[in-house]
Structure 1
Amino acid sequence: MTAASDHIIGRFAPSPSGALHFGSLLAALASFLDIRSRGGQWLLRMEDLDPAREPAGAADQILLTLEDLALTWDGPVLYQSQRLHAYETALTELTGHDLTYPCDCSRQRVRALGGVYDNFCRSRDTSPTGSSAIRLKLPDQECAFDDRIQGRYSQNLRHGCGDFVLRRRDGLMAYQLAVVVDDEWQGVTDVLRGHDLLDSTPRQIALQQALGYQQPAYAHIPVATNHRGQKLSKQHFARPLQRDSASTYLFEALMFLRQQPPAELRRAPPAEQVAWAIPNWDIQRVPKLATIPVNSSFS
């Protein structure tokens, strides 16, 4: 499934671990408007790789909420749980090029290192026995890219994160591998998401290079935070979007993204707000910030 090089394809990829909240809406809306304003396709992907963290019905609830917000997607929804063979194939390819190794280091050990893995298992004389994660061997060099919102970003992966996990010890595929494989398969040309994933981008670029994939263009919007400065998330008990308040959420999201919607649009139906926002989208208005606090009613 590939796209012509001159065609624009974006995507929104929520994890169905709960209902959408205002932070999720910001990423969805910004991606949607950026793609639609350029006549592209906007795809929807469910990152449902961790069943233990996914309440029954959460994925369907996300779809209904997006429909209420008039954020319509193209084609069928892609469920990562149905793509496991593709991730295994990519992992096998990397292993065949001697770019992976097993690791049985605990998360506690990595946390004690400050979150940057020291590549301990890469140079071990004997391979670990028992359950092991699979890590990618990273080159000791800078990885840089031009973010369409935040500007130039550079990271030395060996020193910034260390060799990272492709498959977890419990056998589940890691986010970094799955997202790269799916972006390539769906022909994604543009990725717009939250600033909290900015430092993941060099890892994904390293994987794209290792697998011979095309590199999408990237853009990262500020993350919405609560009164404690915490990212709006299910972990921090962000309030789920209420389906009967779609117009309010959309207007406030447009304000957060500094798109300058007219005041009379506040009470307009979602479809009308979206119809205004598409031709008026200006990515240059999005603040070049990591975080922005939001009203407590959204957090």
Structure 2
Amino acid sequence: MRQLAGLLLGALLSTPLSASDDEQTRIAREMIQVLDAYAVYKMGDFDEAFERYRRLAEAGNRQGMLNLGNMHAAGLGTRTDLGQALSWYRRAADAGDAIGMYEVARAHDIGLGTPANPDEALRWYQRAAEQDNADAQWALGERLYQQGQHANGLSWIRAAARQGEHAQAQQFLAALDGDGVAAIQPNNEQRQAVLAALSLIDQAAQRRDVDALVALIRDDAQIQVRLPQSRSWQALSKAQLRTLWQQTFAQTDRYHYQRNEPELLSTDDGILAFSLIRETLARGERTQQLEIHESARLHLIEGRASIYGLRLDIRQRGE
């Protein structure tokens, strides 16, 4: 893992840097630290993960702020403190982070670390929705629709559904007569193409081939990951997801991966594939039993599938 970080930073540091290059290098270094902390967290070493996130957060890293807030909220690596969690979410939100904005909205909505304040919640949902946060778009749209602002509410619900990743928004629209977004079963050719693509990914995971693991993901794909016992989603690039897999494998002595039969649905903009993946990660005497609830959005071109959207909800078994 340290060797990987050195290689990545070495490539950046091997040429003279301008001011913008300095900033890019700092961002790259921080992302490596974030992904390193992800892998430590995933192994269940919460005390160490808390310290890594704390250092990142105090240095101004937004992902560090979010994850430190998550750990305060869940009482992982520290005592449960919803006030501290909200404080770190607010700092991330003030720094422009849409997930932080959503968490602040949610705290005001249901009273987590602060008295419930529906008006303040709506204001923060609006801010997060305008930053393309699907959860906030759904929450805002549903709230407005229930208040009788049907056109405004539906516009936000459609925005969440268009991202292909918010099942509640899609189900809401599918229930409306004439909306035309109800999902249907793919035909046999589509089904076989998607299953073949997922099989290639599964084979790559089983042999720990990180390049093959991400080969079918488009470079501009929208990727989100949620770690065990966390409420917040983290947006990653394809390269960052590759690095996270690399560091996950570096944390393990033994690794097992198995996908259940996926559920496939056809929509106007491709195929949705919902899968349950079971992971076992072992290092020394420590073993983690995880489940990945995967939602993948795939395009089919000439019988070949590529992934343009991916959500990985990683949970501890039984969570």
Instruction: Name the structure where helix makes up a greater proportion of residues.
Output: 2
Compute the TM-score of the two structures, normalised by the length of structure 2: 0.23
Compute the TM-score of the two structures, normalised by the length of structure 1: 0.24
